[in-house]
Structure 1
Amino acid sequence: MPKRLRLTRRFPVAMTNDAYRRLNRFAQEAEISPDEALTFIFEHFNSITDDDNLGHRLRLFKAELPERKA
């Protein structure tokens, strides 16, 4: 029997317009709500990310942060 989907945890989220549009596009393509899309992504994080690629992309993102915050 599958786990029941109860969205009991809420937190304020700030994201870029690009990230927001990508989340909504993913949710629309998957025919689920953005809340359900985030739940899916984080519940299955290890199986949907490539460890090597994730580390590389995270280093690039962190290197760009000072420029993006300015």
Structure 2
Amino acid sequence: MPKRLRMTRRFPVSMTNDAYRTLQRFAAEAGLSADEALVFLFEHFNSVTHHENLTARLRLFKAELEDRKA
């Protein structure tokens, strides 16, 4: 029997316009709300990410982070 989708945790989220548009596009293509899309991504994080690509992208993001904050 599938788990019931209960939204029991809430947290304020800030994101860039690009990230927001990507989330909205993904949700629309998947036929989900933005909340449901985030639940899917985080519940299945290890299976929807490629560990080596994630590590490399995270390293690049962190290297650019200070410049992006300015």
Q: Which residue of 1 aligns with 2:65?
A: 65
Match of 1:48 in 2: 48
2:43 paired with 1:24? no
TM-score, normalisation: structure 2: 0.99
What percentage of aligned pairs have identical amino acids? 74
Cα deviation for residue 40 of structure 1 reads: 0.2
Task: Number of aligned residue pairs: give it.
Answer: 70
The one-letter code matched in structure 2 to 1:37 is A
Q: CA RMSD in A?
A: 0.3
- Which residue is 2:12 aligned to? 12
Question: Where has structure 1 moved over 3 Å in runs of 4 or more?
Answer: none
Superimposed CA distance per residue, residues 13-49 of structure 1 (whole angstroms, 9 cap, x where no aligned partner): 0000000000000000000100000000000000000
**Unpaired runs of 5+ in structure 2?**
none
Instruction: Give the Cα separation in 1 of the matches to 2:28 and 2:50.
Output: 24
| TM-score, with structure 1 as normaliser | 0.99
Gap runs ≥5 in structure 1: none
Distance 1:8 1:37 in 2: 15
Q: Which protein, 1 or 2, shows the higher relative CO under an 8 Å CA cutoff with sep ≥ 6?
A: 1
